[in-house]
Structure 1
Amino acid sequence: MNQTARLTIAAGVAAVSVVAAGVVLAQDRTTTIKRVTDASPAAPGLAWSTTPSDLGVEGAMFADPRTGSEYSWGVGSIHIDDTLITLAVVPDEYLGNSDAHMIGLDAHTGDKKWLTPAPGLAACSEQPLDGQLVCHRPSYGEQTGLVTFDVETGESREFDTASEIFAATVANERLYVAEGDLEGAEVTLHRGTLEDFDADWSEPIYVWAGWEDQYADQLKVGSEVGYFDLGGGFATFDAVTGRETWSTDVLDDCLTAQYRTAGDLAIASTYECGSTSGEVTGTTAFTRDGDVLASREGPAVHSLSTDQPSDISIPVVLGDAAFDRTTGEQLWQNDLLVFDYPGDEYNEPRTQGTLTAVIGDVGLLGFDGSTIGIDLRTGEQLWRTAETRSLIGTDADTVIFSSGSELGAVDVRTGSVLWTLEPGKLAPDADSSLDTFVEGSGGSYLLQSGSTVVKLEPLP
């Protein structure tokens, strides 16, 4: 059960109306890189930073377009060409967000390019379509359908679509839309264009969840495979034809979907059918066609914050062992992959998986106040440190971490700390918990919090 899909909806040609022209603005901002006070010598410097107030939205906080503007729960931005697109929302204690604007920034300088009202959005696709950021409004709102924002100008347009739309995305230069009764498992996927959401096809798919679940941004589509994993189940379809290839039900199949990974594999935890405890009995990897590739008995389930194997030659870890992603052959076993948590006054004792990240051919393990790096090709330990850090991003063999009021980088192969700095000293209004990694490579990083967007660059 694998990957990506986003589906298009409704019949006929969508009615289009221009609803808002983005306010296009220009600022003259220097990009002199400034050394951060008290940062270590190798730390990058500050190229630019900005806040919602700087951008003309008072009382707002940044939010991720991928999670929408109605009830934003994430922080982030989408980088398309030379434009960095983010949301600024004004929280309301009772109504989610009372106001919202989509903002386009010059990704190189941080200058504001445009500002456009963007209320009531359920989610936006990471990939553009015809130069447009594509978003949708929920079916239960006063207005429903698709909303687009021109990447260069911010001009917003509305497209009529199916009345029961609840998810949409862009992939393969097409629009994918999901509509129907999610709680009743009566869902249809469509593929088409902005003007004609079901121009290519409309196909049923077995997927169900509660309306209180996170679903608006869960439709994923790759070049060949799409998936819509909700309610603890897998739902996989052909991205070209829309035909469902396989699906699971958390109750009927006695398994819970965990995550998708390289090689078109789907990882699930299993439990004893008929059991009332729900205790995990093992972990299974399924192929893109729903066949079992490999299984490992035991209660340990790994929760990965980052899953970036360099290629499919890197084994997949199930429980305390690693398996070939193509043949399913067990390659090695390591007891460090499982930790028996003793419990405390608030938590019962339990066995847990320790793998927290896969970066290239290195796995990071975290347990009992320690972080361990292992070679995923052999299972051998590379390094160990008596510290735990929250990984927020990667740059080749460099891990970017956030730890309390400290931001820094670690060499993933040695565990050595490369540099550190205090986010609160980046700028006068910088957030001390700058812990969303938008993107980065070559020592240049774009970071974000609810109050600040920051660009770091290597010092000359």
Structure 2
Amino acid sequence: MTLAPGIRGLALAAVTALVTGAGAAAVLLTPPDPLRKITGTDAAAPGLAWSIDAAALSGGAFAEFRSPVDATSIDLGGPGFVRAGDTLVTVIGVSTDDSIALREAVMYGIDAATGDTRWQAPADELGGCAAVPLDGELLCFADPVTGPGDLVGYDLADGTVTRTPVPWPIFALAVDGEHLYLAEGDVESDDVRVRSGSRADPDARWTRPFTMGTGWEDLPSDALDVTHGQGLFVLGADATGFDLDTGAPTWTARLDGCSRVTTTTPALVELIRTRCEAYRVTGIDLLDRTGRVLASSDRGGVHAPVVDEPTDDTIPVLLDDTAHDRRDGTARWTNPDLVYSTADYQGTPTRYGTVVAVLGDVAVLSDPVGGTTSGLDLRTGTTLWRTTTERRGTVATRDGDDVVFTDGQGLWAVDPRTGETRWDIPFRAVNTDRDAFAGNSVVAATGDGRLTLVTDRTMIGLRPFR
């Protein structure tokens, strides 16, 4: 059939309108990307993907974010979260002067990409949680002083809480990604044990007794560590290493005075000998997984990198101004930039380490006395770059190949090989409320180029434009 010219025009117009309307419908059905460019930042800076206010989310006027790793039965922790895949797990509660506990504590599962709340569950009277998840759960323990000493699991998908009663007073808990480790017993009677298993069967793998102890009021929050390739158990003046597969003790050390231990990958421990007077460091011993002393320094110069991610065990470990082979302790090179000296409160010259981050085979150094930040090639000891700046920040995390600094004014990223500032984000450009980012903060990479920052009041997600 042949249409008359007028009718043909009407038909074509109708088809065109139909196609156009369908296209418009398709556009409207696609949600807009909420990523917002932060005013005043350059093209390299990530944008603001989302922002959460603790009080607005919880409905409590004085609510604040807290790390799940810390206890809610005693409010001594700060802001933070546990990353569990694409879910960020955090606690929101109310801190008051009339209670030692974090009141109205609730655990939240937050979508790392959108900031949406996936679930929430009660979190009162917890003694602490593991820093990494296990088998789809965040594992915590109930404070045995205020109630039954249960193991508590939070399902990461929906927040379902599963409580496993145990007959022991748990005081520390850790996860290495594959297994649960917990410490229990009476610390004031030196009658304690470490057990390994799962939430449903917490001593299924092994149980080991340890004759160690301390006062309950002196119990460290990090008594149990399994993050660096061996177990580390510290109570009072005693430290011991143990095999993660069997629990068998591998070495012991005495922590005289105010001495302490820190860990570095793979499976090395630094014993930092410290006098309580002025908290003065008198020496450092580097111990391997058998307790053998690989290297020592008697000059102080303790390094405390926030990011400690060497390429492999060919990258040396740093004691004072000297680099030592991680495998046999051999001194490989020295560099005076690794330390700075200043007087303590008694006027005694004291050496301090400058390393604030280790990324691959490069270290980033910060010297507050000289007012410099620099980069160091860890294979050769060569200084790669040095800048003088009035802005003194602290390392927060890494962002891909860059190291992220923070201070009270904002975040910025630095290329560790060149010292170039990649991007800079002022907090006031994110939120004009000067109190939104006040106090302590925690920043972490949360996958796919994203960064998450949390303070007492505010949590934000940053995402690159691409």
- Same fold, TM exceeding 0.5? yes
**Letter in structure 2 aligned against 1:315:** P
Q: Which residue of 1 aligns with 2:121?
A: 116
Secondary structure of residue in 1 paired with 2:148: coil
CA distance in 1, matches of 2:219, 2:186: 15
Q: Which residues of 2 match residues 330-369 of structure 1 at below 5 A?
A: 330-342=331-343, 348-367=348-367, 368=369, 369=371
Shift of 1:441: 5.5
Q: Which residue of 1 aligns with 2:141?
A: 136
CA distance in 1, matches of 2:329, 2:365: 22
Unmatched 5+ stretches in structure 2: 1-29
Q: Show CA shifts across 1:119-151 (max 9, x none).
A: 011111133333221110222113322112111
Q: Which residue of 2 aligns with 1:374?
A: 376
Instruction: Please tell me whether residue 76 in structure 1 is matched to residue 77 in structure 2.
Output: no
Q: Cα–Cα, structure 1 residues 173 and 283, in superposed 2: closer, same or farther, change >3 Å? A: closer
Instruction: Please tell me whether residue 256 in structure 1 is matched to residue 259 in structure 2.
Output: yes
Q: Show CA shifts across 1:346-400 (max 9, x none).
A: 8654222222322221222222122222111111111112223211011232111
**Letter in structure 2 aligned against 1:338:** V
CA distance in 1, matches of 2:158, 2:448: 29
| Contact 1:39–1:421 (8 Å) recurs in 2 | yes
Q: Which residues of 2 match residues 391-406 of structure 1 at below 5 A?
A: 391-406=395-410
| Contact 1:235–1:248 (8 Å) recurs in 2 | yes
Q: Which TM-score applies when normalising by structure 2?
A: 0.84
| Contact 1:66–1:217 (8 Å) recurs in 2 | no
Q: Which TM-score applies when normalising by structure 1?
A: 0.85
Q: Show CA shifts across 1:91-145 (max 9, x none).
A: 1213231210001112221111111111011111133333221110222113322
C-alpha root-mean-square deviation of aligned residues, in Å? 2.7
Q: Cα–Cα, structure 1 residues 278 and 455, in superposed 2: closer, same or farther, change >3 Å? A: closer
Q: Cα–Cα, structure 1 residues 438 and 223, in superposed 2: closer, same or farther, change >3 Å? A: closer
Q: Show CA shifts across 1:177-217 (max 9, x none).
A: 21112233321111233233223322112443332335344
Which of 433, 443, 461 is the aligned partner of 1:455? 461
User: Which moves more between the two structures, 448-457 or 205-214?
Assistant: 205-214
Secondary structure of residue in 2 paired with 1:331: strand
Instruction: Please tell me whether residue 190 in structure 1 is matched to residue 201 in structure 2.
Output: no
| Contact 2:437–2:457 (8 Å) recurs in 1 | no
Q: Which residue of 1 aligns with 2:387?
A: 385
Q: Cα–Cα, structure 1 residues 310 and 280, in superposed 2: closer, same or farther, change >3 Å? A: same
CA distance in 1, matches of 2:165, 2:446: 37
Shift of 1:276: 7.7
Q: Which residue of 2 aligns with 1:64?
A: 67
Q: Which residue of 2 aligns with 1:45?
A: 47
Q: Cα–Cα, structure 1 residues 192 and 432, in superposed 2: closer, same or farther, change >3 Å? A: closer
**Letter in structure 2 aligned against 1:36:** I
Unmatched 5+ stretches in structure 1: 1-27
| Contact 1:233–1:256 (8 Å) recurs in 2 | no
User: Which moves more between the two structures, 32-41 or 448-457?
Assistant: 32-41
Q: Show CA shifts across 1:390-429 (max 9, x none).
A: 1101123211111231211111111111111212322466
| Contact 1:77–1:438 (8 Å) recurs in 2 | no
Which of 91, 96, 107 is the aligned partner of 1:92? 96
Q: Cα–Cα, structure 1 residues 33 and 286, in superposed 2: closer, same or farther, change >3 Å? A: same
CA distance in 2, matches of 1:441, 1:417: 22
Q: Cα–Cα, structure 1 residues 90 and 394, in superposed 2: closer, same or farther, change >3 Å? A: same
Q: Cα–Cα, structure 1 residues 333 and 232, in superposed 2: closer, same or farther, change >3 Å? A: farther
CA distance in 2, matches of 1:201, 1:377: 40
Paired residues in the alignment total 428
**Letter in structure 2 aligned against 1:143:** P
CA distance in 2, matches of 1:343, 1:195: 50
**Letter in structure 2 aligned against 1:49:** S
| Contact 2:355–2:364 (8 Å) recurs in 1 | yes
CA distance in 2, matches of 1:205, 1:428: 53
Which of 136, 155, 159 is the aligned partner of 1:150? 155
Shift of 1:271: 6.1
Secondary structure of residue in 1 paired with 2:428: helix
Q: Show CA shifts across 1:70-106 (max 9, x none).
A: 2241211122233221110111213231210001112
**Letter in structure 2 aligned against 1:228:** F
Shift of 1:240: 1.2
Secondary structure of residue in 1 paired with 2:69: helix
Q: Which residue of 1 aligns with 2:287?
A: 286
Which one has a larger percent helix, Structure 1 or Structure 2?
2
| Contact 2:219–2:236 (8 Å) recurs in 1 | no
Q: Which residues of 2 match residues 288-327 of structure 1 at below 5 A?
A: 288-327=289-328
Q: Cα–Cα, structure 1 residues 211 and 31, in superposed 2: closer, same or farther, change >3 Å? A: farther
**Letter in structure 2 aligned against 1:449:** T
Shift of 1:343: 5.3
| Contact 2:148–2:165 (8 Å) recurs in 1 | no
Q: Cα–Cα, structure 1 residues 110 and 78, in superposed 2: closer, same or farther, change >3 Å? A: same
Q: Show CA shifts across 1:10-68 (max 9, x none).
A: xxxxxxxxxxxxxxxxxx99642111122233211111111223423413111111113
| Contact 2:238–2:253 (8 Å) recurs in 1 | yes
CA distance in 2, matches of 1:278, 1:409: 33
CA distance in 2, matches of 1:358, 1:419: 20
Q: Show CA shifts across 1:414-452 (max 9, x none).
A: 111111121232246682348311324564211111111
Q: Which residue of 1 aligns with 2:269?
A: 266
Q: Which residue of 2 aligns with 1:7?
A: none
Q: Which residue of 1 aligns with 2:22?
A: none
| Contact 2:399–2:413 (8 Å) recurs in 1 | no
Instruction: Please tell me whether residue 238 in structure 1 is matched to residue 238 in structure 2.
Output: no
**Letter in structure 1 aligned against 2:249:** E
Q: Which residue of 2 aligns with 1:105?
A: 110
Secondary structure of residue in 2 paired with 1:143: coil
Q: Which residue of 2 aligns with 1:444?
A: 450
CA distance in 1, matches of 2:104, 2:183: 26
Q: Which residues of 2 match residues 13-32 of structure 1 at below 5 A?
A: 31-32=33-34
| Contact 1:340–1:349 (8 Å) recurs in 2 | yes
Q: Which residues of 2 match residues 173-184 of structure 1 at below 5 A?
A: 173-184=178-189
In our comparison, the structure showing a higher alpha carbon Rg is 2
What is the identity percentage for the equivalent residue pairs of Structure 1 and Structure 2? 35
Q: Which residue of 1 aligns with 2:413?
A: 409
